[in-house]
Structure 1
Amino acid sequence: MPHDTLRRPRPVRTAPRTPAGGPARRRRHWTRRPNPIAGLGSVLWLVVVIVPIYAMISASLTRQDEALGGNALKPPAHPTLANYNTVLHNGFGHLLLNTVIVAAAVVAIVLLLCVPLSYVAVRSRTFWSGASFRLFLLGVAIPAQAVVVPLYLMIAKLNLYDSLLAVVLPTAAFAMPVSVLILTGTLRDISEEMYEAMALDGASTTRMLFQLVVPMAKGGISTVVVYAALQAWNGFLFPLIFTQSDGPRVLTLGLFNYVSQFGVNIPALLASVVLSGIPVFAVYLVARRALVGGLMGVGGK
């Protein structure tokens, strides 16, 4: 075979390796294609959320004689804070205090009962614990309107009618099924090795609950706190049915102060709604990261 017919193998050129997060990965990140459909959907959803809020705030700054006519999206010609002054001097502080008490009591009851119940449902392997957990979750499928008459009779028999406790107890009861569902999904994400390590260290069940479960389940607990507080804050049916006087009245019933047989004070009504939503918005800003993390862990492993 002639020597000149032999071909030497060509050297294979390899691309230089780049460390993780280097220029190559950064280049792929910037060349990622945009998603116009997702962007359009986000813009539409933002418009759906922002426009009603803008209309509500704009109407709350409008005078009563200008509220019934014109375009709802048009800024007020003569903005005024008189509606907020009317709300603040019409018992808003008393309504806010009652609502805060109800929300705090509901959150306390839900956490006190749901955290140990979820811990038992996750850690126990007995038939009765699983059956009790599934039976408890049936409360998700029971609407409050279906049991309002039996609840009314029970509260009347217990002499709790027309009190804040008559609002707290049923609100907490209907918030517990979803709260247990959220907490069990969060507790299932705690690895078995952590429980075994604490058991080898001689930790009791109570110590595991307070030193392992509660710190590791902060996201789920924050989600439950926000959910239960919102259930109490926005509740309307139970305060309407189980209270009558002005003493235990909450914010949702306080909106009737601006409704009379001769008309509705729309600007003052919307100003009351705006003031009622400020505490909820503040809580969301503080707990939004834990809330999102808790909701992501609902499904469990």
Structure 2
Amino acid sequence: MNMSFTDPRTVGPRIRMMMPHLTPLEARVVEMILGRRDFDEGTGIKTVADDAGVSEAMIVKIAKKLGFSGYKDFRAGVVDYNRLPTAELHQELSPDDTGVEIAQKVFRTSIHALEETLSILDPEAFERAVGLIFSARQRDLYGIGGSAQIARDVAHKFLRIGVRTSVFDDAHMMLMSAALLGEGDVAIGFSHSGTTTAVIEPLELARRRGARTIALTNYATSPLARTADVVLCSTAQGSPLLGENAAARIAQLIIFDAVFAAVASRDLKAAERNLTATMGAVKAKRRTT
């Protein structure tokens, strides 16, 4: 996955994607640093180490684990990220919030996720995913729980323009589907965490059978991502109440809205013809006033 480290918008997503690879102690240190309101260019490594109760060497190790060259690079990235207009959009819900304030915070969390997801979108991976889906003979979509709902939404979009897909949300059915795929086919795995075994296993099987594989996940280094030929990543800041999935779900739907539009543009006349046909087929089911 290509992520421009010079773009401050990618710093938050980059750190979040690496958090699953940290030890509990390392993750606690990072959360402590990110939670400091006084963290700026003048915050020394000794101050951070003393406050976290760890050595300076540990701070450097964590910074490098997150993909930075060292503490100073990490500090500069976080400071630049915190200066962004969207940095304050993510706010936790409070028992004192009014209904309008709750709505504003939920909307802003999703806005933040969309802004950051766009900033880390890999153009090459996007184009490859579009090409594979457009030219595929068979397109099988795998997801469990909330991810299955995203897969169904994607299937609905594509059916409207005549691009047929099949959605599987049962572990056994996914494996049976994957066993029948081969060259010219595409399997798409949907998993926020990228660690859902029920989705990883059929994607691995599909790949062994010769099919191309696409993953949609929140973590570019997850087991699901490592299984895929092409990885499309969303990113969302966690919330104890809403969880990461709430905002990430919006970002993932928008990613495939873009994929859908790009696939349609590959043969716009056919897409428009099929859209007219499918819309006409359900028109009778709508009541008129």
Please give the TM-score of this superposition, normalised by the length of structure 2. 0.29
Q: Compare the two structures and name the one with the higher helix fraction.
A: 1
Q: Which has the higher contact order (CA 8 A, sep 6+)?
A: 1
Q: Compare the two structures and name the one with the higher strand fraction.
A: 2
Please give the TM-score of this superposition, normalised by the length of structure 1. 0.29
* Larger CA Rg, structure 1 vs 2: 1
